[in-house]
Amino acid sequence: MDDNSINSENAAIQMKAGIYIAIKDNLALRTATILDAKHLCKWWNDGKVMEHAGFPKGLNTNEDEIIEHIKNENDNHRRIIIEIDSSCVGEMSFRIKNDIAEIGIKICDFSYQEKGYGTKAIKLLIEYLFHKRKVQKIILDTNLKNTRAQHVYEKIGFKKVKVNYNAWQDQVGVLQSFVDYELLKENYERKETVLRNLATIYLKYDNQILMLKRIGSRIFDNPMWIGTGGGHFEQDELNHPLQCVLREIKEEMGIEENEIQDISLKYIALCNIKGEVRQIYYYFGEFKEKPRITPVSNEGELQWVDIDQLFHLEMPFTASECLKHYFAEGEYNNYTYVAAVTNKEGKAAMYFTELLEY
């Protein structure tokens, strides 16, 4: 058998079996094969999966067309299948040219979204491209409306390069905007400390607080009870944390600013988690009138909780400690406190001090 025959035979084997390029714990990345056409066809024709890519009606493709796409791929242009516990749950892609790789990702099985798998998959692909393929820069873009993806990319270390407003029309003729990101190898390997700003608000009425049971968060590994609403800052909110919480409670549960009163910033908490410094702004406020119907949130389950039952809930450490301090002391004064989490004899400890003018 000559070399050409051997190479052809190896290519045929790879076309059906795929090559694993990265594996960590229960997550694996492998090259797509013609046998994946069934999964890809289902995903690409699903408007919900393809909406952020500009195809709310799906691609209306078929398995034969996808098989031809896969056959035409090469070492510098690959479709990647994301596997979790050996099940296909999503896809990635990369295209390499002049030491620059352009990538894309979709977690297509919704039951695996918001569980951190997308972040882990991107990190695995980054390691592969920087260290195995020796690229020097990775670029990607995402729909401006896809703020969740933007938070993930920025958390990993991608830098926002440009926002392209009304740059293209989607499948149904709606103008769409997208954001360009880039990640340089030298910056990624420097392992810069990431600063993450978050804000939340606890809304009270009489002796109850409206609490949110958050499930499937990028921040928490397990379901956690947190404030009424809040989240990550948008770019124009970095110096205005109150704008962040007001926007979040309106977007997530339809609560308007004129429904609440006595809003005050009580705590600015700092903690270092796995090299990521989180600065969290804790606001407190009261409903002018108790809503007749408990607001519905698209972020989890909202419930009214009696204050004396509050600390039976599973909460993040910083939130729990700030609430304990608030009901013991902070509720009865006009101070804003700075709080820092540290390690004391192997256990988390939190220290508070008044933020006073000097």
Q: Which runs of consecutive H residues, i.e. helices, occur in 197-299?
A: 241-253
Report the CATH number that the domain containing residue 268 is assigned in CATH.
3.90.79.10
- State the residue for tokens 């479709």: 79
Q: Are residues 186 and 203 in the same domain?
A: no
Residue 224: per-residue pLDDT? 86
* Domain end position, chosen among 190, 212, 233: 190
pLDDT of residue 8: 43
Is residue 70 located within the same domain as residue 93? yes
pLDDT at 192: 61
Residue 76's domain spans which residues? Answer: 3-190
The pLDDT score that the predictor gives to residue 97 is: 96
Phi, psi of 45 (to 5 degrees): -90, 0
If phi over 0 gives left and psi between -120 and 50 gives alpha, with beta otherwise, what is residue 175?
A: beta
CA dist 319 and 299 (Å) reads 18
Indicate whether 161 and 227 sit together in one domain.
no
Does 252 lie in the same domain as 177?
A: no
pLDDT (0 to 100) of residue 88: 96
Q: What is the pLDDT of residue 4?
A: 43
Contacts of 333 (CB under 8 A, 6+ apart): none
Same domain, 156 and 248: no
Residues 88 and 65 in one domain: yes
Mean pLDDT by 10 residues, the chain (358 residues): 41 61 94 95 95 92 95 95 96 96 96 92 96 96 91 89 92 94 88 82 94 68 82 88 93 90 97 85 95 73 92 93 96 96 88 94
Same domain, 127 and 178: yes
Q: Which residues contact 273 (CB under 8 A, 6 or more apart)?
A: none
Q: What are the residues whose beta carbons fall under 8 Å from the beta carbon of 172, sequence distance 6 or more?
A: 56, 57
Q: What is the pLDDT of residue 11?
A: 45
Q: What is residue 268's predicted lDDT score, i.e. its pLDDT?
A: 97
Residue 214: what pLDDT? Answer: 79
The two three-digit tokens of residue 86, written as one number:
């050996």
pLDDT at residue 10, as a whole number: 43
